[in-house]
Structure 1
Amino acid sequence: MNDIQFADCVKTCVTCSLTCTYCASACLKEEDLEMMRECIQRCLDCADICQLCARMEQKQSPFMKEICELCAQACEYCAEECGKHEHEHCQQCAEACRRCAAECRKMAA
């Protein structure tokens, strides 16, 4: 792992966390809230795991690879649900999650 990869992954995790939080908040404002329930839950979980991943990377935790792998899984799980919805915030979130999953997989390798 080099410093550029490390910095890219931290930045991507933080961006993904913010995007997921925004998406969850925007989903709460949608008319059919029941339809958005799963999306909101996945976004909130993903946001938390992305923040944890960024913090663990910054302090070079010995669990970093495992947390990066978990983060990639959470991001893929979130992207799967957000990708089902046509709302712009969901589509942006799905894309941010896919980018984060790819970066985290590089770090976990």
Structure 2
Amino acid sequence: MCSDACLDEKDIAMMRSCIRLDRDCADACVAAIRVMSRGGPLSAEMCRACAEACEACAMECEKHASMSEHCRLCAEACRTCADACRQMAA
């Protein structure tokens, strides 16, 4: 949702890093979910990678949170996801 909303911002160039991280984070989360659902040997590794992607995305979205509600919500969701992934990896 955030990457699509960023495309509607006035200064898209300023949002480029946010858009890329949003998309990469979403892909990392989907991959982690698939691996974790199978309970394979890389589950913990994928959870840690997902948590790192979510943290990076949250940090970038927080830069824009005061101007864009979608970035504030995304940062919040990413922090929640990162915490959950770290717990599952432990």
How far apart, in 2, do the equivalents of 1:104 and 1:46 lie?
Answer: 13
Identity %: 53
Q: Deviations over 1:1-56 (max 9, x none)?
A: xxxxxxxxxxxxxxxxxxxxx10000011000010000000000000000011111
How far apart, in 2, do the equivalents of 1:59 and 1:66 lie?
Answer: 13
How far apart, in 1, do the equivalents of 2:39 and 2:28 lie?
Answer: 16
Question: Which of 61, 70, 88 is the matching residue for 2:40?
Answer: 61
| 1:92-103 matched pairs, under 5 angstroms | 92-103=73-84
Q: Deviations over 1:44-72 (max 9, x none)?
A: 00000000111111111210000000000
Q: Deviations over 1:62-91 (max 9, x none)?
A: 100000000000000000000110200000
- Structure 1 stretches lacking a partner, 5+ long: 1-21
Residue correspondences, number = 88
C-alpha RMSD of matched pairs (Å):
0.6
| Structure 2 residue 46 is matched with structure 1 residue 33 | no
Question: Which of 53, 59, 84 is the matching residue for 1:80?
Answer: 59
Runs ≥4 in structure 1, deviation > 2 angstroms?
none
Larger RCO of the pair (alpha carbons < 8 Å, separation 6+): 1
